[in-house]
Chains A and B, each alone.
Chain A
Amino acid sequence: MKPSLTLAQLPLNQPALVERITGPQPFVRRLLSLGVTPGCGVKVVRCAPLGDPIQVEIGRLQLAIRRLEAGQVHLQPSV
């Protein structure tokens, strides 16, 4: 089985679905309160000129998230 991809590894403009979010509770809670839940669609729109953070689109919401933290958002393997 292929190891699952994280949000930090997702190529630009490729849609994906969130599988689970790991990490400390404040981090998980923050994402949940912004509407990032298992099953929701995400897309990396761009990365900052200096490489970090990345801009992620969830529905109509645009989020900036550091790569290190994006690595804790695991995505469903694409079929």
Chain B
Amino acid sequence: MTPVLRVATVGNPNVGKSSLINAIAGSNLSVGNWPGTTVDRLSISFELDQVHVEWVDLPGTYSLAGATSEESITRRELLTSPPDVVVNVIDAGNLERNLGLTLELSELGLPMVVVLNLVDEARAHGIEVDASKLSDCLGVEAIETVASSGQGCAEVKAALLRASRGRALVEYPEYFQAAVRQLDEPNRWRAVTLLSEDVPGLDSHEQAQRLRRQLELVQDPFLSVAEARLKMARHLTCDVEVRIDRGVSRTEKIDRLLLHPLLGLPLFLVGMLEVFRFTYEFSAPWIGFLDVVKGVLSSWVTSWGLAPLAQSFLISGVIGGAGTVAAFSPVLFLLYLAMAFLEASGLLARTTFLFDQVMKWVGLPGRSLIPLLLGFGCNVPAIYSTRILPNLGDRLRVALAIPFMACSARLTVFVLFAAIFFPKTAPYVVLGLYLLGLLLGLLTALLMRRFVPQDSDRTGIMEMPPYRFPSWRAVFRQAWLRTYSFLRDAAGPILGAVLLVWFLHQVPAGKPENSLYAGVSRALTVPLAPLGIHDWRLAGALMPGFIAKEVVVGTLGVSFLGEEPVAAGGLGEGLGQLATGFGVALQETVLAVPKLFGVPSAELPPDESPNGLSAAIGRACDSAGALAYLVFLLLYTPCVATVAAVRSEFGNGWAIFSVIWQLSVAWLAGWIAYQVMA
């Protein structure tokens, strides 16, 4: 059997731990969750000189003690299943602060390799670190790297097999040292920590508590330890670092513009607008292509000449369902791409800085604005992006607010109805709906303050990392892995729901008006009657709308106008259409690039619903009912994929709560809208 070497990366946030693991990974990177949490867990495995290496990336942390979820995970992993080698990644340009953690790790006594990352950036700032001197001081190998370009990675791999234990360098005051010697605890880190503070998950015992009480009579041991470590970190830094003053840094120059008192906020809004245009312009061609694929597959199925029921099952159920799932992926991938870029470049931290004050009135940190804004693109990645918030209570409140943000799928319905019922004021009606969603979302977040547990560790302190151009490889890989995990998790629920709606349409066989679907829809008009919605076809479309808001217009088309017949197509013909469709999508993608730089238009996108649908819907209700319908549709329930996201992040209870809460708010708001209009 090949021997196994377990490796773990430990380091401060933003020092390039993920870049390092990405650079070393090649193609065998995988992402999972830490058990019991939803912090991403990157891991890789590879063979090295007949040794099987299993390498995990532990969450970024400043210290091994402390109570944040990152600190707890890292500590638990290092204490309960200690790796064979710790790879401590350090930002070469921020040596003094990074060494605090290194000194703690040395006391832990695990074999270690120190990776001096970002040496290029440090050099640009006029900072040179003497790696071999640092290596001598610490008693472990120190290797210079630029992880984003792969420089030094081979040396890191090679060093794993000869990793040594570091020296415990920190000199504590004598009163404290004496207590450490007295305490019956062989591990120095444990001894020091037990004597200086309470750390969750680290069992204290009687002897330690007694000694600590004695120490507290002399001085605060917590402060003594922190000061002793910082003193040593400072001392080491002076020894191994040479600095030349290079004047104003690049980061400071960018910040002078982006955080400008007057220009900062408008620049941010323009940037956010660009993110949406990027997502919309680049995803639209591929959603179109997926439609072509669906059409071609359907025409092939038709050409088989199956029984009508089997044919309908394949076309409307299976192909339709798979198409609905697939149609999510272009938007998701692009939004995840933008998200990964914002996160890795350092822009996210600036958002917090700019909007902290605005979000304070709903009691949330500034960066919660990002998930909320992403919600306007698609609620699903927005829910997952709440992971950028460090504490669970805030994350949950933002997640409950997100589904109120009108995602781009809802826009198709807004456009159709606004054009029919409010032809003169359509853009204002749509804008009003967006603002209503935003307002109710924020109110939800504010209200939930009373019901959601608040973490005790809620400081508003945040590091503002230097700007960095992220490695494209890491950004693309992260976006792909997240999109893939969405497809894996949401495909089941979406497909199941599509098949259920299909089944309701088919039973009993005969006219659509007599189907089970129509029956359920008629039952739905009862609670919706006070909102002025009496037509079963309008009420019914809300059911598939629960699956994905994208399909509401399509369902209305089928209910009002009947199923469009699918023409049979041959194999060759279909392949030709696929090739053409792909070419068109590719061409439109390229043409979308200049559009990103044009002046944004205030006009609504063209309505592309089938002919005759507008007239049919126009007869189905009055304008007051139509407005109530739109308000209800804006708010009523997150789609299945969003519910699945809330469930996987926060559990069943909150997912169910979210659905019920939104249905109640939607009904009330719809009722008010109808009463006001009518």
A: residues with CB less than 8 A from B are 25-27, 29-35, 37-38, 45-46, 48-53, 55, 59-66, 68-69
Which residue on chain B has the smallest CB distance to residue A54? B353
A64: chain B residues within 8 A (beta carbon) = 349, 352-353, 356, 460-464
Closest Cβ–Cβ distance, residue A41 to chain B (whole Å): 12
Closest Cβ–Cβ distance, residue A30 to chain B (whole Å): 5
B357: chain A residues within 8 A (beta carbon) = 48, 50-53
Interface residues of B in 554-577 (CB under 8 A from A): none
Bound Cα distance A48, B367 (Å): 14
Chain B: residues with Cβ within 8 Å of the partner, total of: 46
Closest Cβ–Cβ distance, residue A76 to chain B (whole Å): 16
A50: chain B residues within 8 A (beta carbon) = 265, 354-358
Closest Cβ–Cβ distance, residue A44 to chain B (whole Å): 13
Asked if A55 and B464 sit within 8 Å, CB to CB, the answer is yes
Asked if B464 and A26 sit within 8 Å, CB to CB, the answer is no
Mask: chain B, 337-359; 1 = CB below 8 Å from A; 0 = not: 00000000000010011111110
Bound Cα distance A45, B248 (Å): 12
Closest Cβ–Cβ distance, residue A18 to chain B (whole Å): 12
Known interface pairs A35-B97, A52-B357; A63-B461 also in contact (CB < 8 Å)? yes
Asked if B62 and A31 sit within 8 Å, CB to CB, the answer is no
Question: Would you call B132 an interface residue if the criterion is a C-beta within 8 Å of the partner chain's C-beta atoms?
Answer: no
Question: Would you call B459 an interface residue if the criterion is a C-beta within 8 Å of the partner chain's C-beta atoms?
Answer: yes
Closest Cβ–Cβ distance, residue B665 to chain A (whole Å): 29
B96: chain A residues within 8 A (beta carbon) = 35, 59
Bound Cα distance A29, B229 (Å): 13
Which residue on chain B has the smallest CB distance to residue A38? B227
Bound Cα distance A59, B357 (Å): 26
Bound Cα distance A13, B102 (Å): 32
Mask: chain B, 110-141; 1 = CB below 8 Å from A; 0 = not: 00000000000000010000000000000000
With A50-B356, A60-B94 given, can you name 6 additional A-B contacts, CB distance below 8 Å? A30-B62, A32-B226, A49-B260, A49-B265, A52-B360, A66-B461
Bound Cα distance A29, B459 (Å): 11
Question: Would you call B659 an interface residue if the criterion is a C-beta within 8 Å of the partner chain's C-beta atoms?
Answer: no
Closest Cβ–Cβ distance, residue A17 to chain B (whole Å): 14
Known interface pairs A52-B356, A53-B356, A55-B259; A34-B461 also in contact (CB < 8 Å)? yes
Bound Cα distance A27, B67 (Å): 11
Mask: chain B, 159-177; 1 = CB below 8 Å from A; 0 = not: 0000000000000000000
Known interface pairs A60-B94, A66-B460, A69-B461; A37-B259 also in contact (CB < 8 Å)? no
Cβ contact of A63, chosen from B227, B261, B462, cutoff 8 A: B462
Cβ contact of A34, chosen from B97, B259, B358, cutoff 8 A: B97
Closest 8 CB pairs of A and B: A50-B357, A66-B460, A33-B62, A62-B464, A32-B226, A26-B457, A35-B97, A33-B63
A61: chain B residues within 8 A (beta carbon) = 94, 97, 463
Bound Cα distance A48, B356 (Å): 9
Question: Would you call B222 an interface residue if the criterion is a C-beta within 8 Å of the partner chain's C-beta atoms?
Answer: yes
Question: Would you call B230 an interface residue if the criterion is a C-beta within 8 Å of the partner chain's C-beta atoms?
Answer: yes
Question: Would you call B427 an interface residue if the criterion is a C-beta within 8 Å of the partner chain's C-beta atoms?
Answer: no
Asked if A48 and B353 sit within 8 Å, CB to CB, the answer is yes
Which residue on chain A has the smallest CB distance to residue B466? A62
Interface residues of B in 222-242 (CB under 8 A from A): 222-223, 226-227, 230, 233
Determine which residue in B358, B456, B457 has the highest number of CB atoms from chain A within 10 A of its CB, and name it: B457
Asked if B62 and A49 sit within 8 Å, CB to CB, the answer is no
A38: chain B residues within 8 A (beta carbon) = 227
A27: chain B residues within 8 A (beta carbon) = 459, 461
Known interface pairs A53-B460, A66-B460, A69-B460; A60-B125 also in contact (CB < 8 Å)? yes
Bound Cα distance A60, B65 (Å): 24
A53: chain B residues within 8 A (beta carbon) = 353, 356-357, 460
Bound Cα distance A25, B358 (Å): 27
Which residue on chain A has the smallest CB distance to residue B262? A49
8 A–B contacts, CB within 8 A, in A order: A29-B226, A35-B96, A46-B259, A48-B354, A49-B260, A49-B261, A51-B357, A69-B460
Asked if A34 and B356 sit within 8 Å, CB to CB, the answer is no
Asked if A25 and B222 sit within 8 Å, CB to CB, the answer is yes
Known interface pairs A32-B226, A35-B96, A53-B356; A62-B459 also in contact (CB < 8 Å)? no
Bound Cα distance A32, B355 (Å): 26
Asked if B456 and A34 sit within 8 Å, CB to CB, the answer is no
A59: chain B residues within 8 A (beta carbon) = 96-97
